[in-house]
Structures are given as structure tokens and as C-alpha cells.
Amino acid sequence: MTSLIPPELRARLRDLRLAARGGAGGDGLGQHASRSRGAGLEFAQYRAYEPGDELRRIDWKLYARSDRYFVREAERDSPLTAWAIVDASASMRQADAARPGYAKLDAAKTLAACVFELALRQGDRFGLIALAATAPTFVPAGAGSRQRDRCLLELARLQAAGRWPEAAALRPLWERVQPSAVVVMFSDFFDDEAVELALRLAAARREVLTVQMLSAEERDFPFAGGHRLRDPESRAERRVEASAVRKDYLERFAAARAELARRFGAAGIRHVEYVLDRPLDEPLRTFFAPGATRASGGGGAA
Amino acid sequence: MSFALLAPLGLAALAALALPLLIHLVRRLELKTTDFAALRWVAERMRPQRRLRFERPWLLLMRLVLLALFALLLARPVWNGDAPPTRVWTVVAPGVALADARAAAGAGDSEWHRLAPGFPRMDETEAPAQIATASLLRELDAQLPPGVALTVVVPETLSGLDGEKPRLSRAVEWRVVPGKMPDRPAVPGKPFHLAVRYAAQSEDSLRYLRAAVVAWNQSGRRHCELDAQPAEAPVAETSDALIWLAPSSSVLNRWLDRGGVALAANHPGNEGEPLWRDATGNVLARTVANGHGRLIALPGALTPDQLPMLLDADFPERLRVVLGDVLSAPTQAQAAAMRPTADAATAGSQASRLHAARPLDAWLALLIAAVFLFERVVATWPRTEREA
């Protein structure tokens, strides 16, 4: 199952950390026991006792010294939940002529597996939502290596086909993805419904990271001569003279990508493009490299 | 130094050039089907243009060159050899003093030759006594490559001419100097033998024939010997013509079968071309092809009452023409009047331009083989990704 992640990629994952920009602790500080030690149990501050605080959280030694009640607060990341949403519509079948066997979906599977790997390493919970044509596949959030295997198995079964699922089929998604969960969405965002979903998730206080999967052909349009271009989703065909249409296409496609980035940015979504001929850890590094998260977020106590 | 085609119609094979053009064109109209998810941003109005585009242009070029070379091979190209080293020829006719010729032709840088068979150099041989001037001029003109200027130095009086002014393919510098070309000897060697065979009753006609022969011999031209004998005598093989004044016999027929010319009296008949007519249009003599020879048939006897022209002053001349001893054209003339004319038609059809032509077939075949080899190499070259 681990063959989804090549060894050299796994090596480069070492210094990445899955972290939420808004800080963890949506579930409350120290509300439940965690097996993870270390960073989570770091001392943060003392504050004055307020009525309603639990008595056991009073630092009695400090009381003995200063004759006042202080509550010891620890900055402790409660385990976050990471969701990977993988678009498996037919447009994700697109691959480059230079590397025919490597479709956008394949790259998305590997990136999702990397997210699971990162979450597993940190003891976080993670789940998978695969949006295929017939019915969306949900792997409920969980932790541990068995959870990882369940997710990878589901990823391996995933085939790109059909169109974006109906809105009704997506309703369970809202029940499962809790607020303040980290949602990493892998899609080409050619469907407006995919963009809508990302925007609505962000508006509903989920932390959304989007990776737009593009093939090099879509970026460069390296065709020449007469071509019959076929949309894999709608089966629509368009006969074009490639060299004549190229300039116009590049302008319009760049404008569409810029518009998408602008909309996501306005909604507070961290957005990155991934083109198939680039190294796979690039988008992950953008999101999860040390400093990348803290630069904009920083983990404050709630 | 020029290039010529012996069979220019072979270039019609260039029409075959359309073949590879078509082959490389037709395959271009196919469209490649490509899955492309970002179809929404591809402009719809840009239809594929049915431009005339050629696939694999280098291969096409090779094939075109190959076909063009084949067409050239069919057209049989030749290479006209290098230009002669000298561009000016001066020929001197016999009867001109060398000093006069030098003075007339000027001190140009030219080759000096005699106007004689073989056109020997000036210093090699003596001038011949007798030449056929007009014929030699034409031969020289045909032999010289085009572009060689020709200067001819002639004496005032030319001989050895023929019926007309020489017409040459080039303009000739015609220098006339004082002098006289020796004429041909006045009397040609061999006399004209005229045999007459007569029956007894026709003996009177002999007077007119004898008178005619005497008239011929006095005119100073070819001597005529008359051999008049009774009809029973055999006819000598060396005779040039026969006059038969007797009833038709096997001797006359044999003479005609051998291809001789005979004049026969008392030989009525309607066949043959009218030869002589009297003033009212009656036919006095006919000429008939008979066996291999020619028979001049007189319907009546050779007497003044039957043939009044027998008494005319020009009868000997007419008889002589009929019997085949034709007059020769004058061969002497003033050189100034015989200036050769340049004739464009002669120049155009001049075959002599090709006298030094070398065929290029072997080299062309070698070239074709090389191009074919290249074509095969290019054709089997693995296609690049863009073309595949």
C-alpha cells in the first residue's frame, strides 16, 4: 500500500508538519487525554482564577507561595482532523503525452497519501472523501496505521470517471467534516461545483487548502497542426488549428487561473497550483513547511 | 561552354512532380484526437485551417529533386565543350598574295588558314589551284563553333561558285583584294558520246543531227562525238544517249532497260508528259519513263515537215537539254557581288553547335543514385515526436 509514495518523496516529507493556521484547540484545551506528548504539554501562562474553573487546574504550589489562585494553562495542540478530498471526475484522467501513464488523479492520490502519512506521524486524525461519479466514497476520520491502510485501499480503488457528483450526494460531507478541521482538496477546479464546495467549506469555518492539479499540456498548450480536442467529461469535441488558437487559449486560461486564485484568496483559502511535471512535494512544502503555517497563523490559545 | 537538351520534350516528365506533392499533402488533412480537459478555455471560432501544409518537407524535397533529375535524364542533356582558344579565323582564298591579305585583314590576333579542303594553316601548304569556293565556305561555317568571328580574304574574281550566294550562319568579314582565282579548265575531259541508229528510209534526218552536233562542238563546251550507223550495228556501252530512227526493236528496249536515254522517231502514243509543242499546242514530243530509262517519243519522223522546229536556231540546245547533257551554271563572279549573307534560319537549325557536345547521362545517373540513397536515409529516419 505504501507504494503510492516513492521513497525519495517520503524522505522529503521528513521536515513537514501538518498544522492548522487557525491553531488547534477548537476542541478546547486539554479537554481530553492525548497520547501525544511533547509540544502539546508545553507551559503557556498562568492566569487568575475565575469562577467556574475546575479546581484541579489550580496550581496549588503557586497558591502556597503567593496566596492567590492561579490557573496553569498549557498550550497543547489537541489532535486536529485532516480531510483529503480527491476529485475523481473524468477530467482528472488527463495525462501528458510526455508521460502517458501519469494522470492528474495519480498525482492527487500520492499527495493525499502524503497528507495521511503526515497526520499519522503526528497522531492526528484523518479521513478521505473521494468524489467519484457514481457515489462519493467516505472513509470516516480516524487515527492510526489501520486507518491509513483503509484510506490507501480506498485510494487505490479510485478510478477517474464521470462528472462532479450531485449536490444531494455531497450532503453527508457536511455531517462528517467538523468545523475547524483541515480540508486539503485535490482537484483541477474545472467544475464550478468544485470551486463552490471549497468556498462553502471555507465559509463554514473549515480550514481549506486547495491544490489545483494541472497537466503540463494544459499549462503550455504544446500542440501543433489540426487537432480534435475532446473534453473527457462532457465528450464535447472541438476542432481547432492548434497554433492559431494557442495564444488566445493561454491568455484565457491564465486569466481563469488568476481569477480562481483571487476568489480563493478572498475566502481565506490557501491555494496552490501543481503541474504534473513539477516535483510532488512542492504543494505540500508550500502548505506544511516549518514557518509556512506560523507565518500566517500562529498557534494561540483559544 | 553551354548546356543543351537533345530531347526537351523529356521535361514533360516534370509533371510527375505533382505525385509526391499530393502524397505529402493528403496525409495532412487528418486531425489528431486529443483528450483535453481544459476545453472550456479553447476558443471556438478558431476552426482548423485547411492550409496546404506538407508533411516531412525534407523528404518531400528529396523526392522532388529525384523526379526532376529523372526528367532531366529523359531530356538527354549534353555539355558543349569548352570554347576554342581563338575567337577570330581568317581564311585566305587562292589567288590572293599573302602580303595583300595581311594588309586587308589587319594585324588582328587571329588564326590564318587557307580556304582549301581541310582548312590547312597558312604556312603548311601551297595554295591549291582549284577549289569549290561556295561549298568550302559553307563547310567552314558549319565546322566553326558559334561565336568565332570569320574573316574571308578573296580576290576580285571568284570561281568555284554555285547557283546562289553563299548563305552562312554568321556575319562574315568579306575582304576583297586585287587578284584572280584560277578558273576551272575550259574543257572537261570526257566527251559526250551520241549514238544514232537509223533505218535506210530515215537517212535524210542525219543531216540535221550532224548539224546539231557541229553546232554543239562550236559552242566551246563539252565535245560531242557522233556515232551514226545503220540500225543493225550494236550500240556501244559507253554511249551517253541514243537516237533511234528505225522501227522499234529489242535493241532500243534493252537500251532503255539499262537506264539509258533514247529519242525515238515514228513512235506514236498518248502516254507520257508532253515535252515539245508547236505554236498551236499540238504535242510534238513526249517523254515516257520506260524500263529504267527515259524515252523521248516523236510521233512522226525527224523531218522538217513533221517537226518544223528542226530548222530553228535553238534546236541543238533543246536537243542537248533533252538528252541530258545539261548546261552547267556559271561558276565565276565578281567577289564584291558574292558577299555571303547571314541567315538566321541557318543559324537556328545549325546542328554543328553540338559537334563537341558530351552527353551527361552517366554523371546524372550517378547523381540520381546519390539522391536516391539520401532519400531512403531520410525516409527511414525515425520520426521525431512532433511528427509521430
The one-letter amino acid code at B274 reads P
What is the predicted pLDDT for the residue at A296?
42
Confidence of residue A84 (pLDDT cuts 50, 70, 90): very high
* CA separation for the pair A217, A277 (Å, rounded): 10
What is the predicted pLDDT for the residue at A228?
85
Confidence of residue A300 (pLDDT cuts 50, 70, 90): very low
Task: Inspect the interface and report whether the beta carbons of B31 and A238 lie closer than 8 Å.
Answer: no
Among chain B residues, the shortest Cα distance to A245 is held by B46
The one-letter amino acid code at A246 reads R
CB burial string A135-160: b at 16+ within 10 A, e below? ebbbbebebeeebbebbbebbeebeb
DSSP state of B61: H
* CA separation for the pair B253, A182 (Å, rounded): 137
Contacts of B386 in chain A (CB under 8 A): 224
Q: Which whole-number Å values give the CA distances from A276 to A4, A187, B37, in the listed order?
A: 16, 13, 14
A22 pLDDT more than 80: no
What is the predicted pLDDT for the residue at A184?
95
A293 pLDDT more than 70: no
What pTM was computed for the model? Answer: 0.47
Stretches where chain B sits below pLDDT 50 are: 186-187, 348-352, 354, 385-388
What is the predicted pLDDT for the residue at B326?
58
Q: By three-state DSSP, how is residue B251 classified? A: helix
A49 pLDDT more than 80: yes
Contacts of A233 in chain B (CB under 8 A): 37
Q: How many CB atoms lie within 10 A of CB B349?
A: 10
pLDDT digits (tens, 9 = 90+) for B228-255: 888 888 888 778 888 888 887 888 888 8
What is the predicted pLDDT for the residue at B48?
62
What is the predicted pLDDT for the residue at B387?
46
Q: Which whole-number Å values give the CA distances from B44 to A88, A150, A240, in the listed order?
A: 27, 45, 8
What is the predicted pLDDT for the residue at B122?
78
Q: How many CB atoms lie within 10 A of CB A218?
A: 24
Q: Where are the domains of chain A?
A: 2-22+79-291, 39-75
Give the containing element (helix H, strand E) for A126: strand A125-131
A276 pLDDT more than 60: yes
Average of per-residue pLDDT across A127-143: 87
- As given in the structure block, the three cell numbers for residue B365 are 545517373
* CA separation for the pair A202, A182 (Å, rounded): 10
Confidence of residue A250 (pLDDT cuts 50, 70, 90): very high
What is the predicted pLDDT for the residue at A24?
45
* CA separation for the pair A201, A182 (Å, rounded): 10
Among chain B residues, the shortest Cα distance to A246 is held by B42
Task: Report DSSP letters for A44-59, one per residue.
Answer: EEEEE--TTS-GGGB-
Task: Inspect the interface and report whether the beta carbons of B37 and A225 lie closer than 8 Å.
Answer: no
* CA separation for the pair B114, B135 (Å, rounded): 14
As a whole number, the mean pLDDT across chain A is 83
A126 pLDDT more than 80: yes
Fold of A2-22+79-291: Rossmann fold (3.40.50)
Contact at 8 Å (CB) between A156 and A4?
A: yes
Average of per-residue pLDDT across A131-147: 86
Strand extents, DSSP E, B209-308: 224-230, 241-245, 261-264, 273-277, 283-290, 293-297
What is the predicted pLDDT for the residue at B29?
59
A290 pLDDT more than 50: yes
A206 pLDDT more than 80: yes
Q: How many CB atoms lie within 10 A of CB A62?
A: 15
A253 pLDDT more than 90: yes
How close is the nearest chain A Cα to the Cα of B27, in Å? 12
Give start and end residues of each alpha helix (H) in B127-218: 133-143, 206-218
